[in-house]
Copies of this chain bind each other. A is one copy, B any other.
Amino acid sequence: MPDRSFHASALCEYLAHPYPDLRAHVLALLGTEPFRMPVEIDRAVHRERVLAAVRVLADEGLGSLAFPTEYGGEGAPEKAIAVFETLAFGDTSIVVKFGVQFGLWGGSVLQLGTEKHHEQWLAEIGTLALPGCYAMTEIGHGSNVRRLETTATWDAEADAFLLHTPHEGAGKEWIGNAALHGQVATVFAQLSVGGEGHGVHALVVPIRDDDGNPLPGIRIEDNGPKVGLNGVDNGRIWFGEVWVPRENLLDRFATVTPEGRYESPIESAGRRFFTMLGTLVAGRISIAAGAVSAAKVGLTVAVRYADQRRQFGPEDGAELPVLDYTSLQRRLLPRVAETYALHFAVRDLAGRYAAVLRLQKDGDEGADDALREIEARAAGLKALASWHIADALQESREAMGGRGYHAANRLGKLRADTDVFSTFEGANPVLLQLVAKSLLTQFREEMGDLQFLDVMRYVADRAGTRVRERNPVATRKTDREHLRDPEYHRSAFRYREERLVESAARRLKALMDDGVEPFEAFNRCQDHLETLATAHSERVALEAFLDGVAAAPTPGVSEQLADVARLYALARMEADRAWFLEAGYVEPAKSRAIRAEVGVLCRELREVAVSLVDGWGIPEGVLGAVDVVE
């Protein structure tokens, strides 16, 4: 029997890196008022408590970590993500409101604005003296941001923009902080200068007076009760010919001169658009990080319960803990393993993101390309992690039976709160299409619709580099050593991604050769592209996990994690074994052997299951007690 306490504490220590003190600071706050929420809470009260919690975070200097030091921050986006990740162990409304204020509203000023904007607003954003909104989504346009309908029309005489909502359905929708607390908003609108349209740009617009009433020309509606996240005051906003001063255009990537000339260092309108959307990257990494934390909460509660709860047993013998049943092991343990994989993938990505921002600041030429790759990873991991949380919480709830249905148990509320993670900041299916397109163009193109020629070129480029050959022996090998070999897993995941890139490109080309329009060709291949994007993201996750295993500080932790990584790899291969079979990468006997090995690994890891979840280090006071009355 392995020593659980040893593993759990050593794991905890390893997983807290980087920034263990920062995480401990946030964890300590989560155990205090106003962070702890009662099981039942009135929506209005919930909103005020969430605001109070965000105020505490601001007071503790935790809101401005990503901002430059001159505005009260530390210039450390990775730290901001670490705070977000840790906050997600607690009430989800708090972490979302935190993200709205500092990540979206603050992030838009920081990343889309220039020095004058930073000076004017960043410090007050960081202290929450100036609560604001990120008003992108509209009622009629969620995913297709490029077609937003709010207009910002340059007026030379007024030296200002006229902001306008052309019809009811073009109102801003789901805007966090809008219903109650936001005083200003970064508004995304179609910019038009001298009669010429320049696409979507962002302007900072005051929306409320000091008494909290909407300013003239502005109409705000509360979005009302939601499935979850009711501590966040989402709202709708309509603008009726509202004047916005010229200097309020966030003009890092495009500006309008006092003479009324539109100027941008980025020539392509498409590229400019996607550069501005780059503000969403930090948000997507944060959501992925938050989803991983929520999965940890759910699985910790469920695994601990299943380790204690007894039911059935041999005839006339004692009843067994339900985690001794292979059916439940197979439900919970691969999800624990996936949570570990995503943990390392998100940490890795946050580190890469911070590094690229530093490069960019230093004027490094490769920074933009590196950022493109990070955008694709962020989109893919956000999709994977947000679907994982829905799935993991569902299995956790079911594993706890009726106990999981108590509102006092955190699973149900967490499920409802995080459900929208698969939708906001990019609907998952849309994100996966973007990831696939980005892979198809090897991160070189903007993420607009690929044109026929791009695909042709791509396929031609690849003609020389054959997808690595299937090894005819490996398709049949079923011995344990081989099946558990991380290098085998790595090759399998890489093979799948490479082959899917190639086959998707060929399929697209064949369709276009047949005269199908590119848009329709991509539409017909959506399932293929989704499979590709998932394969890519899982490969990224596996490799980050294996790096995490290699970097573990002690052999004990490393060995333990290596087995978890094996389970992750084999369970994903099992789940996608139809693909591997169809591709001839495994033969039926090997596919069955993989399935069997997943079962064996689950049985082995059942012994350390509690220490694996304890390794996530969620304090009892934050987790909520598991009551097993028997």
Contact = CB atoms under 8 A, between A and B. Distances in A.
Interface of A: 39-40, 43, 137, 139-144, 147, 168-169, 173-174, 223-228, 311-315, 317, 319, 324-328, 330-331, 390, 394, 397-398, 401-402, 404-408, 411-413, 415-416, 419-420, 422-424, 427-429, 433, 449, 517, 519-520, 523-524, 526-527, 530, 577-578, 581-584, 588, 591-592, 595, 599, 629-630
Given A449-B315, A530-B327, A581-B591, A401 B142 contact: yes
A224 B143 contact: no
B390 A405 contact: no
Contacts of A139: 629-630
Given A143-B312, A526-B325, A526-B327, A630 B406 contact: no
B412 A398 contact: no
22 contacts: A39-B225, A143-B311, A144-B312, A144-B319, A224-B406, A225-B407, A226-B406, A226-B412, A227-B397, A227-B407, A317-B519, A327-B433, A327-B527, A327-B530, A330-B527, A390-B394, A398-B422, A398-B423, A398-B427, A404-B423, A578-B591, A581-B582
Contacts of A324: 523
Nearest to A577: B578
A43 B142 CA distance: 34
Contacts of A325: 523, 526
Nearest to A386: B398
Task: From A411, A413, A433, A523, name the one whose CB has the most chain B CB atoms within 10 angstroms.
Answer: A523
A142 B311 contact: yes
Contact of A402 (B137, B147, B407): B137
A428 B584 contact: no
Contacts of A449: 315
Contacts of A319: 144, 147
Contacts of A599: 524, 527
Contacts of A168: 629
Task: From A227, A313, A433, A595, name the one whose CB has the most chain B CB atoms within 10 angstroms.
Answer: A227
Contacts of A416: 227, 412, 416
A592 B582 contact: yes
Contacts of A225: 39-40, 406-408
Given A330-B527, A397-B419, A577-B578, A424 B408 contact: no
Given A326-B524, A416-B416, 19 more contacts: A139-B630, A143-B312, A169-B629, A225-B408, A227-B415, A324-B523, A326-B523, A326-B526, A328-B429, A330-B526, A330-B527, A390-B394, A398-B423, A401-B423, A412-B416, A527-B599, A581-B581, A582-B588, A582-B591
Contact of A226 (B141, B143, B394, B405): B405
A369 B412 CA distance: 40
B630 A169 contact: yes
Contacts of A227: 397, 404-407, 411-413, 415-416
A278 to B, nearest CB: 20
A139 B517 CA distance: 61
B407 A420 contact: no
A578 B588 CA distance: 9
B517 A314 contact: yes
Contact of A423 (B141, B315, B405, B413): B405
Given A225-B407, A227-B412, A325-B523, A402 B581 contact: no
A43 to B, nearest CB: 8
A346 to B, nearest CB: 21
B588 A408 contact: no
B326 A428 contact: no
A407 B524 CA distance: 34
A144 B311 contact: yes
B405 A140 contact: no
Contacts of A406: 223-227
Given A147-B319, A326-B526, A517-B314, A140 B402 contact: no
Contacts of A404: 227, 423
Given A168-B629, A429-B328, A311 B141 contact: yes
A428 B225 CA distance: 32
A189 to B, nearest CB: 17
Contacts of A398: 422-423, 427-429
